[in-house]
Amino acid sequence: GENVEQHPSTLSVQEGDSAVIKCTYSDSASNYFPWYKQELGKRPQLIIDIRSNVGEKKDQRIAVTLNKTAKHFSLHITETQPEDSAVYFCAASIRGSYIPTFGRGTSLIVHP
Amino acid sequence: GAGVSQTPSNKVTEKGKYVELRCDPISGHTALYWYRQSLGQGPEFLIYFQGTGAADDSGLPNDRFFAVRPEGSVSTLKIQRTERGDSAVYLCASSFAGTSGSPGTQYFGPGTRLTVL
């Protein structure tokens, strides 16, 4: 099955700085990579996703990049704001399985 | 429209008891997933339904866990002879059927926090 590693486990930045969270996956057949944001005590919410036929996707301050050769993908948040503080999870899904495997999460803290 | 709902929000039970957790998916979503999330961890897959049938139950930890979705909408996760190690937040998610071998966008419910004493 798929194995997803996520780093760092905790990331602390100043408001306005950029934040980058990285994930690696093990199965080259994975073709779908979503990112979720989970605020304390709340449900995970999809913030962006990317499929294996593109290398980068951007939505306002959030972008995701995918390197299929190296089997890693990253979440980039620019101009961070205190409300970006949350736990972020990456996930990868093997083609045909319909089951995403999640990373262990990164706790992002944005200091005002 | 209404999102995914789960009941109860909290459940405290004693070791050895039976519990049922309910999930109401978004109307029209054919795919339904159950996950378990422990503190400091990502969601751990338990079971996936496509319509009424369990398409993949490989994540269920043992035969004490069972889930049903008899009419292709509401789903119930059932845990028999609960153990302290079953304590976690149980999340449900629903989506439209996936395409090209990938899952559809999953929308999560608020979860049920299960505590086994």
Q: How many Å apart are CA B37 and CA B14, to the nearest integer?
A: 20
Q: Which residues of A touch B51 (CB under 8 A)?
A: none
Residue pLDDT, tens place only, A66-95? 999 999 999 999 999 999 999 999 999 988
Q: What is the largest CA-CA distance in chain A?
A: 43
Label residue B98 by pLDDT band (50, 70, 90): confident
Distance from CA of B98 to the nearest CA of A (A): 7
Q: Establish if A2 touches chain B: CB-CB under 8 angstroms.
A: no
Identify the CA nearest to B5 among candidates B29, B28, B25, B19: B25
Q: Distance, in angstroms, between B111 CA and closest chain A CA? A: 7
pLDDT tens-place string over residues A38-65: 999 899 999 999 988 889 999 999 999 9
In this predicted structure, what is the pLDDT of residue B105?
87
Q: Which tokens in the block code for residue B17?
A: 């008891």
Under DSSP, is residue A22 helix (H, G, I), strand (E, B) or coil?
strand
Chains A & B: contacts with CB separation below 8 Å:
66
d(Cα A17, Cα A19) in Å, to the nearest integer? Answer: 7
Q: What is the pLDDT of residues B41-94, one digit of tens each?
A: 999 999 999 999 988 999 999 999 999 999 999 999 999 999 999 999 999 999
| DSSP conformational letter for B41 | S
Kindly state whether A88 is in contact with chain B, defined as any CB-CB distance less than 8 angstroms.
no
Buried b (16+ CB within 10 A) or exposed e, B25-60: bbeebbbbbbbbbeeeebbbbbbbbbeeebebeebb
What pLDDT does residue A54 have?
83
Coil/strand/helix, residue B96: coil
Q: Is the Cβ of A27 closer than 8 Å to some Cβ of chain B? A: no
Q: Hey, is A41 helix, strand or coil?
A: coil
pLDDT, greater one: B37 or B40? B37
- Provide the 10 A C-beta neighbour count for residue B63: 8
- Share the mean pLDDT of chain B: 94
Query: Phi, psi at residue A84, to the nearest 5°?
Result: -80, -10
CB spacing of B109 vs A95 below 8 angstroms? no
